[in-house]
Amino acid sequence: MGLNRRTFLNTILGGGFLGWLGSFFYPVLTFLVPPKIPEANVQSVNAGAIADIPPNSSKILKFGRIPVLLIRTKTGKFSAVAATCTHLDCTVQYRKDRQDIWCACHNGTYNLAGRNISGPPPKPLNQYVINIVDKEVLISKPKQVG
Amino acid sequence: MFKKTIDWLDERFNIQPLFEFMSHKEVPVHKHSLWYYMGGVAMILFVVQAMTGMLLLLYYQPGVDSAYESIRFITTKVSFGWLFRSVHSWSANLMVFFVFVHMFSAFFTRTYAKPRELTWVTGAVLFLLAMVFGFSGYLLPWNELAFFATKVGTDIAGAVPIIGEPIKVLLRGGDSVTGATLSRFYAFHIALLPAIFTVMLFLHLLFVQRQGMHEPEFFKELPTEKKRMMPFFPNFILRDVLLWGVILNILLYLAVFFPWELGVKADAFAPAPEGIRPEWYFMFMFQSLKLLPAHFLIMEGEVFGILFFGIGGLVWFSVPFWDVYIKESIRPKVLKWFGIIVIIFILIMTAWGYLV
Amino acid sequence: MKRLIMSIFCIHLAIIFMAATALGQEKSRFDKNDQCVICHKDLEAMPENFEESDIHMQKGLSCAGCHGGDSTSDDEEVAKRKGSGFIGVPKGKAIIEMCGKCHSDIAFMRQYQPRIATDQVQQYAKSFHGQKLAKGDTKVATCASCHMAHSIFPAIDPRSTIYSLNIPETCHKCHSDEEYMKEYNIPTNQYDKYVKSVHGIALLEKQDTGAPACNDCHGNHGAMPPGISSIGHICGTCHVNNQAYFSKSKMAIEFEEADLHACEECHGNHEIQKTHDDMVGTGETSTCVECHDEGESAYETAEKIHTELIGLVTAFNSANVLLKKIERVGMDDLDMSYAVKDAKQRLLSARTLVHTFDADRVKVKTDEGLEFAKKALAFGKEELDELDFRRFGFGIATFFMTIVLVALYFKIKDMERDE
């Protein structure tokens, strides 16, 4: 009986110890695996291959927590601006017909460099830097002004 | 296999005496034995701090623009990041708590007396380091409460006569709390303090092991055959482990059910939010300083408060060196009441700080 | 020899440098031989508000340029003699003519500013001020009333009385003076109302120079109160969508038939306040019920629009509260914050669509908004569930851990009993 009790205790302790090791190493090891977005302060985002973005089109990308509007003009040039209107934070869009940036909420317009050209927006949109590396479009943080 | 390894090591490093020592070491068993475990608990919590801290370092980015974001990143995007962050915060508080308990139990059982003066002194240093650890770590998430608490805390340091202002500038890395302060606190928190702390902890443990467990007066007077002892290894260690298990469980419970909040990102130019308060272990000092009038005796109230706590701390931590001057017959009584008054003062001030 | 060349070189360099600095500095505006200034300064008889950096002074147009006379003579008798062209202080029409002499002549003006307008005198003639002046009323504003006479600055100069931030103050000088305005029978409280309005606050407190001052609605040289038909267009220069929706609505036609003042009817004029959702609907603060009574279909429409808006606002607010909570406890708020943003955008659009007075169009937007608010709440709930799941998972872990600890306890007991 005493022996059985001892074996029983030892089994529980041994198993418990192993379980404990597991419950220690599992979180630690998964913690070490970098998440999909590898850092908190996103410095640049890959917008995909040039070929996948036809001229005179646009798309919204998530630059960390900030939506960014990537535009490819009719002539094939790229431009990226913060997609949040400086008036009341609506999301702006690229107008294929007029080839400018337009905010639907109050009809504000910006040119493709993000300058506010009509309507209520009080400030230009932040312009992001575009780099083409290996036929892929990389968008990186706007240079701080001042 | 195990034995072979030991033999191999013994042959080279002569570790047998270590085992001899371990097997002979005994821990007294009496009604105050419980207090022997408090230091161990504080130590295991320090180990937890070191481990979770190292993990957090993998993702934390100091800096005004990145500190808060990186912690949000840890708690939201990194697998189990929330757990390690929460455990780190809770464990820090528990550690300070157990350091307090350990210190007061050592005071009341008067373990600091000859020949253990240096154990007490290293303990005092560890206590102060733990507080500074807490203070510096509090700022690292760069949230609103931490920002203003640091501002107030360093302001208090700046009120110290003569050396205060340079100390303040040194702490802040400039005239006000900025990104420079964050960098500094980060360096203190992850490099400077751990290094000193580890050395001190090593010394502290070395002294304890070398001198053996302290026996209280009444226990010493017992005849040898009536002294109940417990082997340090494995009995005491196993009990230690049992208690550590319980504490770790409580820690996990706190971390999961009361996850440490992220707060609102600090904005240096926002008005100070309501209810800025320091961490609880600074509360009694903070509250006392708040209660002092603008002018007290011949000096500013704040300066008086700082001097009071400075001298008070010095008296407290130098107790092994002056208690011998008290007449032996009344010594235990005097010290007991001294300790009780200190505890009551701390408790009242802390409660006051939270209730008002 | 080398040293000599070197020092000569250095001296030259120093001279050139000094000359350059002297040129770079603003030269004193006065011609040293301008006897008008010399005498008037001596006698301390310079005009009030005189500024040396006045634009005309800067460009070399001194006293005699406007007042006539001979500025080369230090004798007053000679300087102001007949035939010297001295006109003294011009009044009324004479001011307009005097300024117009140069300012209506593009051939002259473009030397200074190629793009400058030269139609001010023409415009002025058609303004209320100009019409009154033509009839002989000399109390009305002329060029110098707004631009000043001796401290004229371009409109972009913050010192200027016609800098956008200073315009309300400039008009207010006369228009708020009850005594002065008595005979014209118009209100004098426009300024007091304006400073409390959303435009006044934006311009004067927030210093947003994009916000309209008096002249942005009334015009400057051709100042007039806008007519009924033009109010919509005037507001519409900035509030583009609102104007576009309104002008195509049923309401616009009916307004016109009833001689009602478009935007002004609901929003007021000088004292325009920030809008709120209860301006539409059937509540106490609603502007709809000023004309529409219960039982009319318009009354129902108003009620419907209001219900739609409030519905979305409520959903948006609760999503926002949850978002704040999610952020504070440190759960993942990214997807949720995007959805909340989308909901807000629909809310803003829906509010603008109120100006169609078409409940169905508003409903389309608010429904979209509700969808996003719902999505946001779902994201938020997911995060909270995740928080609960952690607790549950931990509960299980604790259970096993407790068993191990109990086992350890008995193990110690066993061990000590054996000894």
Q: What's the mean pLDDT when you consider all of chain C? A: 87
From A77's Cα to the closest Cα of chain B, the distance in A is 31
DSSP structural state of residue A84: B
- Cβ–Cβ below 8 Å for B249 and C328: no
Does the pLDDT of residue B124 top 90, yes or no?
yes
- Cβ–Cβ below 8 Å for B69 and A40: yes
- Cβ–Cβ below 8 Å for B76 and C332: yes
Of the given ranges (B104-113, C227-236, C306-315, C342-351), which has the lowest mean pLDDT? Answer: C227-236
Contact residues on chain A for C240, CB-CB shorter than 8 A? 106-107, 118-119
Q: What is the pLDDT of residue A40?
A: 64
Cα–Cα dist B174/C176, whole Å: 52
Q: Which helix (H) or strand (E) holds B305?
A: helix B301-317
Per-residue pLDDT averaged across B330-335, rounded? 90
Query: Which of C333, C394, C411 has its CB closest to that of B252?
Result: C394
Phi, psi of A118 (to 5 degrees): -160, 165
B253 and chain C: CB distance < 8 Å anywhere?
Answer: yes
- Cβ–Cβ below 8 Å for A41 and B65: yes
Q: Which CATH architecture has domain C304-418?
A: Up-down Bundle (1.20)
Give the A:B interface size as CB pairs under 8 Å.
42
B57 and chain C: CB distance < 8 Å anywhere?
Answer: no
Q: What is the pLDDT of residue B91?
A: 96
- Cβ–Cβ below 8 Å for A13 and C404: yes
Q: What's the mean pLDDT when you consider all of chain B? A: 90
Tell me the sheet residues that pair with A66: A63
Which residue reads 């509260």 in tokens? C321
Does the pLDDT of residue C23 top 60, yes or no?
no
**Domain boundaries of chain C, sorted by first residue:** 304-418
Does the pLDDT of residue A146 top 50, yes or no?
no
Cα–Cα dist A101/B139, whole Å: 42
In which region does residue A135 sit, left (phi positive, over 0), alpha (psi from -120 to 50) or beta (all else)?
A: left
Per-residue pLDDT averaged across C200-221, rounded? 90
Per-residue pLDDT averaged across C360-364, rounded? 93
Query: Which of A31, A36, A41 has its CB closest to that of B55?
Result: A31
What's the gap between Cα B197 and its chain centre?
10
Q: What is the pLDDT of residue C4?
A: 61
Per-residue pLDDT tens digits for C266-288: 998 899 999 999 999 988 889 99
Per-residue pLDDT tens digits for C131-144: 999 998 989 999 99
B242 and chain C: CB distance < 8 Å anywhere?
Answer: yes
Cα–Cα dist B222/B212, whole Å: 18
Does the pLDDT of residue C27 top 50, yes or no?
no
Q: What is the ipTM of this complex?
A: 0.77
> What CATH number belongs to A44-140?
2.102.10.10
**Domain boundaries of chain A, sorted by first residue:** 1-35, 44-140
Per-residue pLDDT tens digits for B177-232: 999 999 999 999 999 999 999 999 999 999 998 888 888 888 888 888 888 888 88
Q: How far is CA C60 from CA B175, C27, C30, in A?
A: 51, 11, 8
Name residues whose C-beta falls within 8 Å of residue C228's C-beta, 6 or more positions apart in sequence. Answer: C259, C260, C261, C262
Q: What is the pLDDT of residue B20?
A: 82
The DSSP string of C341-408 is: HHHHHHHHHHHHHGGGT-HHHHHHHHHHHHHHHHHHHHHHHHHHHHHHHHHHHHHHHHHHHHHHHHHH
Does the pLDDT of residue A46 top 90, yes or no?
no
Contact residues on chain C for A62, CB-CB shorter than 8 A? 334, 338
Which residue has better confidence, A136 or A145?
A136
pTM value? 0.70
Per-residue pLDDT tens digits for C113-165: 888 899 999 999 999 999 999 998 989 999 999 999 899 999 889 999 999 99
Cα–Cα dist A137/A130, whole Å: 7
* Domains of chain B, earliest start first: 31-265+274-355 (1.20.810.10)
C287 and chain A: CB distance < 8 Å anywhere?
Answer: no
Phi, psi of B200 (to 5 degrees): -65, -40
Closest CA to A101 of A68, A139, A134: A68
From C329's Cα to the closest Cα of chain B, the distance in A is 4
Q: How far is CA C398 from CA B248, B258, C277, C405, in A?
A: 10, 15, 52, 10
Tell me the sheet residues that pair with A138: A46, A131
Work out the pLDDT band at C26, boundaries 50, 70, 90. Answer: very low
Using CA atoms of B7, B9, B11, B16 in order, give the dihedral in degrees to the nearest 10.
Answer: -70
Q: What is the pLDDT of residue C24?
A: 45
Residue to mutate among A20, A31, A39, with most B CBs inside 10 A, is A31
A145 and chain B: CB distance < 8 Å anywhere?
Answer: no
Query: Which of A33, A36, A41 has its CB closest to that of B61?
Result: A41
Q: What is the pLDDT of residue C8?
A: 66
Cα–Cα dist A59/A72, whole Å: 9
Cα–Cα dist C218/C215, whole Å: 5
Tokens standing for residue B75: 């708690």
Per-residue pLDDT tens digits for B57-82: 999 999 888 899 899 889 888 888 99
Per-residue pLDDT averaged across C297-315, rounded? 93
Cα–Cα dist C268/B163, whole Å: 63
Tell me chain B's radius of gyration from C-alpha atoms: 23
Of the given ranges (A33-37, A55-59, C298-302), which has the lowest mean pLDDT? Answer: A33-37
C408 and chain A: CB distance < 8 Å anywhere?
Answer: yes
**Burial profile C17-47: b = 16 or more Cβ within 10 angstroms, e = fewer:** eeeeeeeeeeeebeeeebbbbebeeeeeeee
CB distance C263 to C231 below 8 Å: yes
